[in-house]
Structure 1
Amino acid sequence: MKEILSHLKGDKLIWAMVFLLALFSFMPVYSASTNLVYTVGAGSSTFGYLIKHFTHLTIGLIMMYFTHKIPYQRFRVISVLAIFVVVILLVFTAFQGNTIGGANANRWIYIPFVNVGFQPSSIASVVLLVYVAQYLASIRDTVVDFKESLIWLWLPVFVITGLILPANLSTAALIFMMVCMLVFVGKYPFKYLLRIGGISIAMAGLFFLTAKAFPSMMPNRVDTWISRIDRFTATDEEDADLYQVENAQIAIATGSVFGLGPGKSVQKNFLPQSSSDFIYAIIVEEYGLLGGLAVLSVYLFLFFRFVRAAHKAPTLFGKLLVVGLGFYIIFQAMINMGVAVSLLPTTGQTLPLISSGGTSIWMTCVSLGIIISVTKKEEEIREEERIRMEREDALQALIDRSLLEKEQEIMAEGGNPMDAVRNK
């Protein structure tokens, strides 16, 4: 065990929380998979879904391990190159992507021959946040020109969020919100940020009006957005489609304080996205209020470690990386739990490291790997400081020992010991 831990650098508590969430995820995912097999009819056995989830987590943790080995400063160059690749993937997805399980509205690209799919939007969120962090770090000591920042900062942001928006409104909104928070923390001029806010509102309004006027451009998407907001704000429950929300509420109410027990959820058979979007409701039903609070506490503890890592990061780029990627993970978790307990309208955001899924798990692990790479640098600086102090102490001890021997030599010759001090 010590040999394994010796290869895991950086914040050990972040590593511990990641492994804890990953191990815990097997129980609710395996339990919720019965809905997919016996109700939906997707798959032949629940064990197959368990193996699939294990594979996704294993690949994710391997990606996290190799990512944390990369010096985080290298991600500055990687993000600039990757931003073009991401745009190409999103454009391709907009025209050739697939919709999986109509309800979740997530666009996928399938790799031929191996039948493996991935979500470019999940990759885009990580790449864009790293790109914004490197841009803010590069203009730290310069006077920001608004027109220049429109091209190098906001144009990639608008293009990427605009390409994600038609298929996944909540992800596009969350990414844009995180970018705004990041530029605020990075001390981008607030007056320019207000201008961007006005431009964004105008563009969003134009987009929704166009989508409403020409619904054939995005079949079913506008109706889905409106119905989700209506479900959340409806005053007449008879006229609102509250199927998912009501079943999530039933699951939480049934769980009470201690829960029904692992695998004993009833509502998993009625919630369409019981293993992803509404997995927190299944957790509360099976493990009760205590289980739900325990999961919440782990994410809050991760939030505390991210804040600490950002505070101690040796460079501005490192601080912005931790804030952008770390807070994105926490906000995603809070949104998922907020939807399950009816505090927020249905969004389709997964619960990081717990919900089933491939790309979302992998990109979460990559983000955590980058964050740990920042904390690893902090650890390396502390180690270098410790070695320097040890060398200074050893040198001082050598000088003191040499001085003592000189004093003893002078005294043996009948001289004045102070001569040794003067000769030092």
Structure 2
Amino acid sequence: MSYTANAPLLPRSDTSWFTEWRRTLDWGLVAGAFLLAGIGMMMSLAAGPTAANKLGYDTYYFVYRQVSFASFGLLLMMATSMLSRAWARRIAVLMFFGAILLMTAILGFGHEVNGAQSWFRFGGASMQPSEVAKPTLLVLCGWLLSQRERYPQGPWAIVTFVFFAVTLGLFLLQPDVGGAALLSFAFVTAFFVSGLPKRWIAIFAAGGAVLAVSLYQLVPNVKRRVDTIFNPTSDLDRYQIDKTLEAISRGGLFGQGPGEGLVKAQIPEAHTDFIFAVMAEEYGLVAILVLMGIYALMAIRGFRAASRIEDGFARTAASGLFALFALQAIINIGVNLAIVPPTGLPLPFISYGGSSMAGMGLTLGFALALVRGEGTRSRGQYG
């Protein structure tokens, strides 16, 4: 019996850029991102109408916008993944300096949301430039740290730290402490992967501890959020945390059923930062374990691909980017489980938000571009 393909097969001799991109792209990571975005759009149907009715919007206002945001984020991810490593570096550097300029301007002209002046607002639209600064800084730092191999006498580690310190300072001036913490953890991951001495990690840890204590003592909003978790007997308002935990406990093993959640109407920001609790209430423990499994598998696959790369720049930057993706998911889930103070960080590809969706699209897009090639080809029976 003969078999005729429905579509023309691309021969091995085809060396066009599209064929090479298709062959070397990690389609497992791409599938994971699309799956997460699909779950996010499904959860927008669960939490979006309630949030829209509270604000007096059309019932499906957030649903329609989430579809457009997710589509844009995925398109941005796929377009960025087509870049060569050299072009990924060049574009990331340009975007980083543009984001830094906007983050500087935002201190004087930005719009304040939940105590942080992190947004530009244009009519009904808004933009958060810090979402672009995070992944592009990691690409820039990966390149700077890799220059030690070519020019070992240069002060590459110090220059890298200066860029990080400037960016961190702009985060703290907003203040966006959650974003600053996330960026710091991802930066330390890239620093460690680059092969710098462990004493640098010790210095970062000591400096981070001093900064954390200082912020707790000097910034009332930070102190209040930390105390709501680690000092539950205080007189602070724990309404949001209590309602989130109530939603998760009501979900049980298999949930209340699609659209049957009741506590979501009482949770502030249920469609953004606390979408995880809505999912737990309506779909139960099994569903959120599957969701966490998707994040874990994507992170493991990403770090595994990055570890195979011989090029120091691509290995360091990709490790930082995958850390950024994984840590943001961990922190958001930790907030929903009341084991991490509220940070304002959305759940990657799930929470509502255009800036966060674009930021995640860039993060995975740059990572996919950097791990293409030897980083994604299988080695042996088990890859």
Q: TM-score, with normalisation over the residues of structure 1?
A: 0.79
Aligned to 2:119: 108
**Distance (Å, rounded) in 2 between the aligned partners of 1:171 and 1:144:** 33
- Whether 1:122 and 2:136 are equivalent positions in the alignment is no
Does residue 13 of the first structure (1) align with residue 9 of the second (2)? no
- 1:369 and 1:94 mapped to 2: Cα distance? 29
Cα deviation, 1:67-106, whole Å, max 9, x if unaligned, reads 1111123222333333332221111011111023x36x36
Instruction: Indicate the residue corresponding to 1:231 in structure 2.
Output: 228
Q: Does the aligned pair in 2 maintain the 1:27–1:263 contact within 8 Å?
A: no
Name the SS of the counterpart of 2:261 in structure 1.
coil
Distance 2:208 2:333 in 1: 27
Count of residue pairs the alignment pairs up? 361
> Which structure shows the higher helix fraction?
1
What is the SS of the residue equivalent to 2:372?
Answer: helix
- Residue of structure 2 aligned with 1:28, choices 43, 47, 55: 43
Structure 1 counterpart of 2:157, which letter? S
Q: State whether residues 88 and 369 of structure 2, in contact with CA within 8 Å, keep that contact through their aligned partners in structure 1.
A: no
- In the TM superposition, what whole-angstrom CA distance separates every residue of 1:205-228 from its partner, at most 9, and x where no partner exists? 66666xx3xxxxxxxxx2221111
Deviations 1:127-173 (A, max 9, x none): 11111111111113544666x633x2111111111111132101111
Q: Percent identity?
A: 26
Which residue is 1:291 aligned to?
Answer: 287
Counterpart residue number, 2:103: 90
CA contact (8 A) 2:305 2:376 kept: no
Distance 1:263 1:240 in 2: 31
Paired residues of 2:308 and 2:375 also in contact (CA < 8 A): no
The 8 Å contact of residues 34 and 269 in structure 1, kept in 2 or not, is answered as no
C-alpha separation in 2, matches of 1:354 and 1:235: 29
Q: Which residue of structure 2 aligns with residue 391 of structure 1?
A: none
- Unaligned 5+ runs, structure 2: 1-5, 9-17, 379-383
Measure the CA separation in 2 of the matches of 1:24 and 1:91.
Answer: 35
TM-score with structure 2 setting the length: 0.86
- Aligned-pair CA distance for 1:353: 0.4
Residue 55 in structure 1 maps to residue 52 in structure 2? no
Change (3 A) 1:205 1:145: farther
- Match in the other structure for 1:170: 178
1:66: how far off? 1.1
Q: Which residue of 2 aligns with 1:189?
A: 197
Letter in 1 for 2:104: V
Using the TM superposition, name which of 20-29 and 193-202 deviates more.
Answer: 193-202
The farther-off stretch of 131-140 and 352-361 is 131-140
Aligned 8 A contact 1:8 1:65 in 2 = no
Long gaps (5+) in structure 1: 213-221, 383-424
Q: Does 1:157 align with 2:172?
A: no
Superposed displacement of residue 17, structure 1: 0.9
Distance 1:42 1:320, change over 3 A: farther
Question: How far apart, CA to CA, are the structure 2 residues paired with 1:129 and 1:54?
Answer: 28
Contact 1:28 1:262 in 2 (8 A): no
Pick which of 244-253 and 311-320 moved more. Answer: 311-320
User: Given residue 316 of structure 2, which amino acid in structure 1 is its aligned partner?
Assistant: L
